[in-house]
Amino acid sequence: MNMLQKNGQKSSPARGLIQKALSLSVLIPIFALLVAVMFPLVFNLSSYVQSLILLAMSYTIVVVGLNILLGYTGQLSLGQGAFFGIGAYTFSILSALHGMSFWIGLFAGIIVPVLFGFIIGLTTSKLSGHYLAMVTISFQMIVSIILNNWRTLTNGPDGITGIPRPNLFGLIDFSNDLNFYYFSLVCVVLVLWFAYRLKYSRLGLALAAVRENEMAAGVTGVRVYRAKVMAFVLASGLAGLGGVLYAAGTNYISPDPFGFAQSVVFLSMSLVGGSGSAYGGLLGAILLTFLPEWLRFMKEFYIAVYGFMVILAVIFLPKGIWGLTGILEKYFRKPEEVEALELKEFLPKLEFASEMMSVKGLSKHFGGLKAVDRVDFTITSGEIKALIGPNGSGKTTILNLLSGLYIPTGGKILFESQEIGGLRPENIAALGIARTFQNIRLFGDLSVLENIMVGQTCRTQESLLTVAIPNRAAREERNLISSKAMATLKFVGLEDKADWSAKNLPYGQQRLVEIARALATEPKLLLLDEPAAGLNASETDELVNLLKKLNQMGLSMLLVEHDMSLVKSLATTVTVLNFGQKISEGTTEHTLNDPLVVEAYLGKEEDAYA
């Protein structure tokens, strides 16, 4: 589908609204909601089934929280049960043991897990994969042990009884099951609404960038640690809310349902339902709450079958059951119609020929290895400088230092007279330095346009509040971002691929998308790590033209490259490295003929004939 707005086909705003209201993406949730509202009125449910439904609703909220952490942000947590437990216990201790009102309990039942989530998120922000899984398991085990053993606080294994249900200022009493069902339903709907909007917001995009490639997210301007902490906070807050509803729903809690096994159940729900979306969480929670009931005819084998189904789901449904609706989702969410700006309109304007970057005595040592050793060079604004040298001479290390992926061992990096050595990658991106990678690092599962939109993260602000509440300013900002993204995409000539998954593009086009993404951060200086690697001759020519055009717009570049013809056709000055040290520098023509440089690449003549 063409993403560009076709002139003369604009429909009137009112008509657009009606169409939007009638689209399936709105109708189906409304229908589902109506069913949910009518269900208990039409069917006469046994109290056992009623309690299961309440259980599934509290689980839904917890699992949606886990989906934000795992599916949206890519952080594996096996401690969701602990946050669930902390929420339930905080609420129950305050409301049942200390007689406080439901609402104070509810508030504390969300805030206390959030505090724990914040601390865990903050302390583990540098960990990922199985390490993160282990921290969350440890947290889970410690919480379980404390719930069982700190009797004065939690009553230990005896648990807490007489947990109250809410009462809305004496107007509505939620203590009977039907009213409490509606109370829970409101919570579930609000949570789903929030999680759904989060996924398609700019914050959600930043989370997805962290999930797809943490390193690329950082240099593209995403505040990676903040995103991870936020995901933990949201996940633990929702687990807490789920815990409160669980406790109020059952009126009794003990430590058992908040153990490691429960965390595993939440994880299974998330994966079987589909961790990538809010609805997947809903589906997983409902399905796995009722599945054991449906499998009861298998008697003692039913949980074994449950385990078996988890394996099958992971093998055959990588995106969960909801992932199967991916084909439908394309129909639900029509590609946005985006009008492209002109790239020139928003790339920063530069005064030419001033000193832009100055590197003095820059060093990076790995133990005894001096990967970069006291290197000096400057980049004048508006120039293209090439950084060349044999393999292992420290070129990529320098790019990593300049883009904030490494912290220098010594020396200074001044960018527009500001020291940037050791700053976080996202802060460097925000100052106006963008980069590409030698081995392309795109956000594979995101669309091409979304990949580029991530580049705008450091140019805009979005809070959780604007995610939760639709508002004009946020919508307009989002439109502006997509227009800018489209502009860079048009510039590299890939506007017709905007809604492709990045990973499905051919290699050469992926390189262009990476450059477009770097441009979307509105850089003053572009760091290119072997941009022509793996490109064929015509693609390389195209690339050279593109980079020349960008340079004419005023963009400065630092180019790491092995292809000398490319260096000759682009760079005005060259710095040559060997074994981490600068061995030559000057204009391109002069430097490439320097005997020292020739020797570094080809060896001495005696060596050659020895």
Partner 1 sequence: MTIIIQLLSTGLAIGSIYALVALGVIVIYRAANVVNFAQGDFAMAAAFAATVSATTWHLSYWMAFLFAIIVMVLLGILFELGVYYPLRNRSFLPVIISTIGASILLQNLALAFFGPQPRQVVSPFKIHVVDILGAKIDPQYLLIIAVTALLVLFQFFFFEKTLLGKKMQATAQDKETARLLGIPVTLMIAITFVYSAVLGGAAGVLVAPIFYVTTGMGVIISLKAFAACIVGGFGSITGAIIGGLGIGLIEIFGAAYISAAYKDAFAFGVLALVLLFRPQGIFGEKVSEKA
Alpha-carbon distance of 137 to 81, in angstroms, equals: 10
Sign of the CA dihedral with 255 first, then 74, 197, and 290 last = negative
3-state secondary structure 282-329: HHHHHHHHHHHHHHHHHHHHHHHHHHHHHHHHHHHCCCHHHHCCHHHH
60-68, 136-144, 281-289, 516-524 -> range binding partner 1 (CB under 8 A): 136-144
Task: Select from 37, 304, 328, 353 the one that contacts partner 1 (CB under 8 A).
Answer: 304
Q: Please count the residues of this chain forming the interface with partner 1, following the rule CB under 8 A.
A: 47
Return the residues of window 13-72 that contact partner 1 according to CB under 8 A. none
122-130, 197-205, 536-544, 547-555 -> range binding partner 1 (CB under 8 A): 122-130
β-strand partners of 587: 573
Place of tokens 């058992």: 256
271 part of the interface to partner 1, by CB under 8 A: yes
3-state secondary structure 393-415: CCHHHHHHHHCCCCCCCEEEEEE
Among 326, 210, 330, smallest CA distance to 276 is for: 326
Q: Of all helices (H) and strands (E), which one includes residue 556?
A: strand 556-560
Crossing angle of helices 129-149 and 102-123, in 10° steps, is: 140
Sign of the CA dihedral with 525 first, then 531, 537, and 542 last = negative
Alpha-carbon distance of 607 to 241, in angstroms, equals: 72
195/272 with CB nearer partner 1: 272
503 part of the interface to partner 1, by CB under 8 A: no
Alpha-carbon distance of 494 to 486, in angstroms, equals: 9
147 part of the interface to partner 1, by CB under 8 A: no
Least separation in angstroms between residue 420's CB and partner 1 is 17
190/304 with CB nearer partner 1: 304
303 part of the interface to partner 1, by CB under 8 A: yes
305/602 with CB nearer partner 1: 305
Least separation in angstroms between residue 260's CB and partner 1 is 7
77 part of the interface to partner 1, by CB under 8 A: no
51/128 with CB nearer partner 1: 128
Q: What angle do CA 453, 455, 459 make, to 5 degrees?
A: 100
Place of tokens 């602000």: 461
β-strand partners of 334: none
115/133 with CB nearer partner 1: 133
3-state secondary structure 33-64: HHHHHHHHHHCCCCHHHHHHHHHHHHHHHHHH
Cβ atoms of 522 and 459 closer than 8 Å: yes
Cβ atoms of 576 and 594 closer than 8 Å: yes
Place of tokens 């929702």: 238
239-247, 348-356, 394-402, 506-514 -> range binding partner 1 (CB under 8 A): 394-402
301/352 with CB nearer partner 1: 301
When computed from its CA atoms, the radius of gyration of the chain, rounded to whole angstroms, is 28
β-strand partners of 380: 355
56-64, 308-316, 324-332, 515-523 -> range binding partner 1 (CB under 8 A): 308-316
Task: Select from 174, 183, 246, 437 the one that contacts partner 1 (CB under 8 A).
Answer: 437
308/507 with CB nearer partner 1: 308
21-29, 174-182, 373-381, 396-404 -> range binding partner 1 (CB under 8 A): 396-404
268 part of the interface to partner 1, by CB under 8 A: yes
296 part of the interface to partner 1, by CB under 8 A: no
396/482 with CB nearer partner 1: 396
Least separation in angstroms between residue 542's CB and partner 1 is 25
153 part of the interface to partner 1, by CB under 8 A: no
Structure tokens at 205: 């995009």
Task: Select from 200, 225, 260, 601 the one that contacts partner 1 (CB under 8 A).
Answer: 260
Structure tokens at 602: 């080809």
396 part of the interface to partner 1, by CB under 8 A: yes
138 part of the interface to partner 1, by CB under 8 A: yes
Contact footprint for partner 1 (CB under 8 A): 76, 123-124, 126-127, 129-131, 133-135, 137-139, 141-142, 145-146, 149, 215, 260-261, 264, 267-268, 271, 299-301, 303-304, 306-311, 314-315, 318, 396, 399-400, 405, 437-438, 529
